[in-house]
Each structure stands twice: as structure tokens, then as C-alpha cells.
Structure 1
Amino acid sequence: MSNDIVVSSRLPEWRRLWCNWRGLLTECETSLLQSMSWISNQEKRAPDFSSDRLPQLKDRLLALEADRKRLAQRIVASFEALMSTMSIIESRNAVSQGESISKLTELAFIFIPLSFATSFFGMEIKEWEVNKPRIGHFWGFASGLLLGAYFIRLAIRSTFIQGGLKKFKRAHMETWMAQSKLEAVAPASS
């Protein structure tokens, strides 16, 4: 996780560097193209002068242009790799936040029923003045609510129940589709 923090903290600096490198490579391309154009003009103007040195210079400039293209491709590939790494880091963060929310939800299954029980027994109900409930009644009621809420939670998350619901839907989907087609056809024939 600490590497993720380092990557995230250095991202703006890397972006700035890549933007600078792209700008420098664009300037290099422009300079190389101008140099190639100048050499071509010199070859046309004075063919005698360009016998040995200008073709060598032209070859060297072509090699520099090939190196510049490879470097530009490496910069783009590095930038894409960094962006995919940042995407993975953000996905991990989202999963971590989801786990935190899940834990908070688990706590809610405990505290909401207890809060309701506390509110219920904290009310001033006239019928209770004669036979006031004791602390045991509160804990019994709170425990029942807590167990009921947790049972509902388990039932909702149960793979057995989820599988049963899917089977039920599949089994009855054809019937529902057939009924809806009949209902759609029936008014049209009237």
C-alpha cells in the first residue's frame, strides 16, 4: 500500500515531466525537419559542394529522427503504463472503501435495533405506569430485534436464498412472458 501512496503522490510531477518531454520531442522533430529541408535545398543549389558531407549529415539526421520516434513511443507507453497503474490503485481504493462501508453496515444492524428498543422503552406510555417494564423486558425486546434484524441480513446475503430466487425467476419467466404476449395480443384482436 505504501508504494501506491508514493505513486499517487508523485503523479503530478511525472505528468509535468512527460508533458515537458513531449514538448522537447516536438521541438526536436521540427528542428530535424528544418535541417533536412536545408540539406535538400543545399543539394539542389550546389550539387558539387554536397559530394561527401551532406549525405552523411542527412543519414545522421534520419538516424536521429528514428531515435526520436522510438523515444516518443517509449514515453507514450510509459505514460499509458502509469495511467493503468493509477487505475489499479483507484480500484483498490474503491474496494477498500466498499469494505469499510460493509463494516459500517454490519454495525448498523446492531445499533439500529438497539436504538429502536431504547426509544421504545424511553417513551412515557400511560399503560406502563401501573406495570412498568423491567430491564429484563428491555434486553429481551432488544435481543429479539437484534436477532431478527441479523436474521434478515443473513437471509438477504444467503447464497442459498439468492440461488432459489434465480431458479424461481427462471422457472416462471417463460410463463410471465407467455402471459404478457397473450395480454398484448388480446386487445389488438378486439
Structure 2
Amino acid sequence: MPTAVRRTARSRQFPSAHQPGRILPEHEWLPSASCRVVDPELFFPSGRETASRADEEAAKRICRGCPVREPCLAVAIRGQEQIGVWGGMTTAERRRLAVEARRLQTLGQEEAGRLLAGEAVPVAATSRPAVVFHLVSAGWQEAAIADAMGLSPDSVRTLRNTAENAAAFRHLVPAVDEEDEAESFGAAA
């Protein structure tokens, strides 16, 4: 269960998180966070279920220029934070990133191997980004992947972007068993 985040008007206080493998301890990166001088209401809206789209975008803009975006995102992903913008991502975005990163670790290798061997293989929609990632890693071009998987080049490009975004952050996502994946982040994907 995530630790509650305390909101104050002058400072943004983060939960204490003692998960192993965290990139930096909070006391080392928190003083450099761009959000420390911004009203925490922008990142953690109180009195309403979710932030407005404008508030989310404003918070993300601050995060994009933050020198400690990755450790902040790591705390939110590993702590399964359910509230607020952390590391430039909303809860829903962090949830999707974590699911895709885990899928890259666990799915698609068998299908990609069979496609590389020239076999016709049906690929489940949930495995497609991982299969595309593995095929690109093996040196395949998007057009060849589209032909082999029976997809449009635009679909392959979208799947590749999804996979590459998840791959860039997969070191932040702890590996879980497939049955645990449904429980992660409140079972939403």
C-alpha cells in the first residue's frame, strides 16, 4: 500500500520509500527537484478525484525540465503511487508504462523467434509491442515487421514507439510474476 503524500502550501513532501534498488535516496535528489518551489496542489490536487488536464500539463512541463525526473519517477513506480504527477507522468501513464515494461521482460520472445525463423505466427495484441521490440533489436526494419505480422507500417511504428518508451524506463520497474501483474497498480491496465 502506498504511503500517503502530505500536502502543504510551501513545500512538497514525498513519502518515505525504502524500496531496495532505488536510484538515489530521496534526501539526495529532493533538494534539486524543480517542484519544490511550486504549489503542491498542481501535482497533488486535493478535494477532487483527479487534476484538470491543464494542471496535469503544467505539472508535466515543470517535470520535463527537472534534473531529478528519473529518481522521482522511480519512487512513484516502485511505490505504486496512486495520486499525482510524479516524474512527469500521471498515475494512468505510470501504470501503462509499468505494464508495458513488464511485458517487454516477459512476452514476445517466442513469437519473435518464430517470426525470425520465417514462420507465420499469430501475435496477441498484448504481446505486439514486445514482439516489435525484439524484432527491431534483431535488426528487422518496420516494413518487414509489418509484412510478417500482417499490420500496417503505421501500426508497427506506434507499437515500436510504445515499446521503446517502456524500454527506456524498464530499469525502474521491478520484475513481477505474471499473476502479480494484475494486482499491480490496482489491477488496471
Scaled by the length of structure 1, the TM-score of the pair is: 0.23
> In terms of Rg, which structure is larger?
1
TM-score (norm 2): 0.23
Which structure features the higher share of helix residues? 1
